[in-house]
C-alpha cells in the first residue's frame, strides 16, 4: 500500500467517525440557553421592561444619560428611564430580605458591569437601593466641597453683571 492510499484511508476513517458522532449526538434545541459564562442578571419584578431586553442591554446607558440631561438641564421628569424606576424593579434581595446595595456583587447593575469591567458611576451620587439616602458628592469618603460648580457659576454671573 502506498503512502497516498494510507492517507486516503485515514481520511475516510476520520470522516466515518465524525459521521457516526453526528448521528449519536442529539441536535441542539432550536432555542438553546445562553452559555454559562455570560452574566445572568436577576429578572425585573414587573410584567416587562420599559424597552426590549436586547435594546436595553445595548442602549441603557444612552437612555439613562438622555433622561439625566432632560431632568437636570430641562426639568423634564418622566418615569420611563428613571434610575429610581430601574432600582425599584430590579432590586435584588439578600438573605435578610433587604435589597443589596451596589457594594454587593449581587446588585443587578454589577452583574453585567463587573463582567464587562465597566465602572458604575451612578451610585456615587444616587442611592443604589430604595429607602436609602443618596450620598451627594460621591462615595470617595471625602467631604462635599463647600463650593459646588453651580455656586461658582452663580458667583461668576453676579460678578459680570448678568
Angle at 72 between CA 66 and CA 78, to 5 degrees: 60
**For residues 102 and 85, is the Cβ–Cβ distance under 8 A?**
no
* pLDDT (0 to 100) of residue 144: 39
DSSP letter assigned to residue 99: B
Higher-pLDDT residue of 76 and 142 is 76
Write the CB contacts of 113 (distance below 8 Å, at least 6 apart in sequence): 119, 120
What's this model's pTM, rounded to 2 decimal places?
A: 0.56
* pLDDT (0 to 100) of residue 96: 94
- Is pLDDT at 155 greater than 80 in this prediction? no
Query: Helix axis angle, 108-116 relative to 83-90, nearest 10°?
Result: 100
* pLDDT (0 to 100) of residue 141: 38
CA distance 94 to 85: 20
pLDDT tens for each residue of 4-57? 778 888 888 888 877 777 776 666 555 556 678 888 888 888 888 889 988 988
Provide the grid cell at 5.
Answer: 492510499
* pLDDT (0 to 100) of residue 143: 38
- Dihedrals phi, psi of 147, to nearest 5 degrees: -105, 120
- Is pLDDT at 95 greater than 90 in this prediction? yes
pLDDT tens for each residue of 104-133? 989 999 988 998 898 888 888 888 888 787
- Is pLDDT at 83 greater than 90 in this prediction? no
**Nearest C-alpha neighbor of 67 from the set 118, 136, 75:** 75
- Dihedrals phi, psi of 36, to nearest 5 degrees: -65, -20
- Dihedrals phi, psi of 99, to nearest 5 degrees: -60, 145
Higher-pLDDT residue of 160 and 149 is 160
Report residue 145's pLDDT band, with 50, 70 and 90 as the boundaries. Answer: very low
Partnered with residue 99 across adjacent β-strands are 93
Task: Identify the sign of the CA torsion 94, 120, 128, 136.
Answer: positive
Amino acid at each position: 500500500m502506498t503512502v497516498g492510499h494510507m492517507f486516503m484511508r485515514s481520511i475516510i476513517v476520520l470522516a466515518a467517525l465524525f459521521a457516526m458522532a453526528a448521528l449519536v449526538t442529539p441536535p441542539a434545541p432550536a432555542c438553546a440557553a445562553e452559555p454559562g459564562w455570560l452574566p445572568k442578571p436577576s429578572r425585573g419584578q414587573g410584567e416587562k421592561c420599559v424597552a426590549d431586553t436586547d435594546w436595553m442591554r445595548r442602549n441603557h446607558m444612552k437612555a439613562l444619560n438622555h433622561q439625566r440631561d432632560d431632568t437636570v438641564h430641562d426639568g423634564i421628569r418622566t418615569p420611563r428611564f428613571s434610575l429610581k424606576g430601574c432600582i425599584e424593579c430590579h432590586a435584588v434581595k439578600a438573605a435578610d430580605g433587604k435589597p443589596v446595595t451596589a457594594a454587593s456583587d449581587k446588585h443587578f447593575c454589577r452583574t453585567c458591569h463587573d463582567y464587562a469591567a465597566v465602572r458604575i458611576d451612578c451610585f456615587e451620587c444616587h442611592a443604589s437601593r430604595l429607602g436609602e439616602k443618596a450620598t451627594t458628592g460621591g462615595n470617595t469618603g471625602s467631604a462635599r466641597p463647600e463650593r459646588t460648580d453651580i455656586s461658582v457659576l452663580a458667583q461668576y454671573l453676579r460678578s459680570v453683571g448678568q
